[in-house]
Structure 1
């Protein structure tokens, strides 16, 4: 096995970083930048679930204590 030096080493490291960026974009960055699409999917998926019925131990349904909307 030969040792990578100089430009070949830089290209190898650049390829690894580029690959990691290409992999993380659709998984992490795209959903954070386009939240409306995922909120719509979540709303449709939870449409038939009544939160009061699935709440464990007769606990009150969560509400934001700071009143944000």
Structure 2
């Protein structure tokens, strides 16, 4: 294998690894908004914002909501 091909494969593998790591974290929730909102409603059930939010900080908001 030539040196340039090996370098390209290593670099391409690294980029693929980063893409594979970001897909479930960032891109999957963006493509499945309704499913993500349902999961977050279940995960945040029973949490009172005033109990966990430090004083003086902005209250939680919907990350997908319009500003």
Shift of 1:6: 0.8
Q: CA RMSD in A?
A: 2.7
- Number of aligned residue pairs: give it: 54
Larger radius of gyration: 1
Shift of 1:22: 0.6
Q: Which moved more, 1:41-50 or 1:20-29?
A: 41-50
Q: d(CA) in 2 for partners of 1:37 and 1:31?
A: 8
Shift of 1:45: 4.0
Look up the match of 1:15.
Answer: 13
Q: d(CA) in 2 for partners of 1:43 and 1:36?
A: 11
Q: d(CA) in 2 for partners of 1:48 and 1:22?
A: 33
